[in-house]
Amino acid sequence: MKNILVLCTGNSCRSQIAEGYLKHFVQGRAKVYSAGVETHGVNPKAIKVMALDEIDISANTSNHVNEYVNVPFDYVITVCDNAQERCPYFPTKAQRFHHNFPDPAKATGSDDEIMLEFSRVREMIKTYCREFIEKHVQEA
């Protein structure tokens, strides 16, 4: 079984959303983890925006990348430039992928405008995750 790590700065929004979608699309054909080069806690708006798409990430935790140093990852996906620059070396044959998604936690404006940005970024991550699984994780 393949091991996939999604890495971002704080393991708060983008990597949590990606973890939720990767698990959804992979349907048990791989183990999916998410972590940050720091830990900021799971953003409540990330939980809310995923619930709007019927994916529950409310039990997710914010984890530091060092917690997974002994996991033999096949794929490491960085979802922000900061994480890509600070991503540690994993002593595996992990293939690295990178896509710099906007940080919805930096959105400003009314609650509705902020949630609109979370929804916009969620859809970008959803598309990326669906295509990643289709391309890299074979049928069981």
pLDDT digits 0-9 by tens, 59-87: 999 999 889 988 999 999 999 876 566 56
- How many angstroms from the chain centroid is the CA of residue 87? 14
pTM value?
0.93
Q: Is 7 helix (H, G, I), strand (E, B) or coil?
A: strand
8 is catalytic: yes
Annotated catalytic residue within 48, 64, 81, 87: 87
> Helix %, strand %, coil % for the chain, to 5?
45, 15, 40
pLDDT value, residue 61: 96
13 is catalytic: no
pLDDT value, residue 92: 62
Please tell me the total count of domains within the chain. 1
Structure tokens, 129: 């995750």
User: Tens of pLDDT along 42-60?
Assistant: 999 999 999 999 999 999 9
Could you tell me the CATH number of the domain that includes residue 7? 3.40.50.2300
Residue closest to 42 by CA, chosen among 14, 6, 78: 14
Annotated catalytic residue within 5, 26, 80, 94: 80
pLDDT value, residue 104: 95
Annotated catalytic residue within 5, 6, 8, 47: 8
Domain boundaries, position 125: 2-136
Task: List all residues 6 or more positions away from 45 whose beta carbon is below 8 Å from its beta carbon.
Answer: 13, 104, 105, 114, 115, 118
CB atoms near residue 56 (< 10 Å): 10
User: Tens of pLDDT along 88-123?
Assistant: 555 567 898 999 999 999 999 999 999 999 999 999
pLDDT value, residue 83: 59
